[in-house]
């Protein structure tokens, strides 16, 4: 089992870099927490909400319009 020095160096570099990548991931998570926490607090606060009625299931009906004004009036 002859191993080249390149393979040993590659494995060593991969092992050393895995710790560095873990540190970067922790920093990114901390930054995301700092940004997202105030946004989520704002969304959960007493922001005005719409009271929408309950939707009823009906069969779809396609209406054809000859003029744009009739369509705009219905919209």
Burial 26-61 (b: 16+ CB within 10 A, else e): eeeeeeeeeeeeeeeeeeeeeeeeeeeeeeeeeeee
pLDDT at 1 over 60: no
Number of domains in the chain: 1
Is 61 part of any domain?
Answer: no
Over residues 34-59, the pLDDT tens digits come to 667 776 676 666 666 777 888 888 88
For residue 71, is it within any domain? no
Q: Is 42 inside a domain boundary?
A: yes
Per the model's pLDDT, the better-predicted residue between 36 and 1 turns out to be 36
Residue 10 has pLDDT above 80, yes or no: yes
Distance CA(33)–CA(28), nearest Å, equals: 9
Domain of residue 36 covers: 1-46
């Amino acid at each position: 089992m002859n191993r080249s020095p390149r393979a040993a160096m590659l494995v060593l570099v991969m092992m050393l870099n895995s710790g560095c990548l873990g540190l970067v991931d922790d920093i990114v998570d901390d930054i995301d927490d700092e940004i997202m926490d105030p946004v989520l607090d704002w969304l959960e606060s007493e922001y005005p909400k719409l009271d929408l009625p309950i939707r009823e299931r009906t069969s779809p009906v396609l209406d054809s319009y000859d003029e744009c004004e009739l369509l705009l009036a219905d919209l």
